[in-house]
């Protein structure tokens, strides 16, 4: 029985060593996966932080562009208003009776409309 037991012992020993190696590798793999997950989480935080900064920067740029565009529109509107005011003054100076007649006609039309509205 001695010679038959030795190969079984060797086989059992080899199976035990193999199982131990698998268990050790499994533990190491789990630790490696945890480390890798921590690295990936950190990289994600860094990327998300960069992206957030980029979004904030772009929003600031767009706000500046919008303010500049609004300033230009306001300036152009003021120019147009001054232009029409100048033309109105020029017309009033050159054609005073036409202006008075136009104002009278507009007042008359407004009065008629108000009277019709009140009668309803």
Q: Is the pLDDT of residue 2 over 80?
A: no
Q: Where are the alpha helices (DSSP H) in 1-120?
A: 2-94, 96-119
Residue 76 has pLDDT above 60, yes or no: yes
According to the model, what pLDDT value does residue 27 have? 81
What's the CA gap between 22 and 20, in Å, rounded? 5
CB neighbour burial string for 83-113, b if at least 16 within 10 angstroms, e if fewer: eeeeeeeeeeeeeeeeeeeeeeeeeeeeeee
Name the average pLDDT for the chain. Answer: 84
pLDDT(88) > 60:
yes
């Amino acid at each position: 029985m001695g010679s038959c037991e030795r190969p079984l012992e060797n086989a059992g020993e080899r199976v035990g060593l193999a199982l131990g190696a698998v268990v050790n590798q499994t533990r190491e793999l789990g630790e490696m996966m945890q480390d890798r997950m921590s690295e990936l989480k950190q990289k994600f935080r860094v990327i998300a932080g960069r992206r957030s900064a980029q979004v904030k920067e772009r929003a600031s740029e767009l706000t500046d562009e919008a303010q500049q565009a609004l300033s230009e529109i306001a300036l152009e509107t003021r120019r147009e208003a001054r232009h029409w005011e100048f033309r109105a003054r020029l017309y009033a100076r050159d054609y005073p009776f036409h202006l008075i007649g136009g104002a009278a006609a507009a007042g008359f039309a407004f009065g008629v409309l108000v009277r019709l509205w009140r009668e309803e």
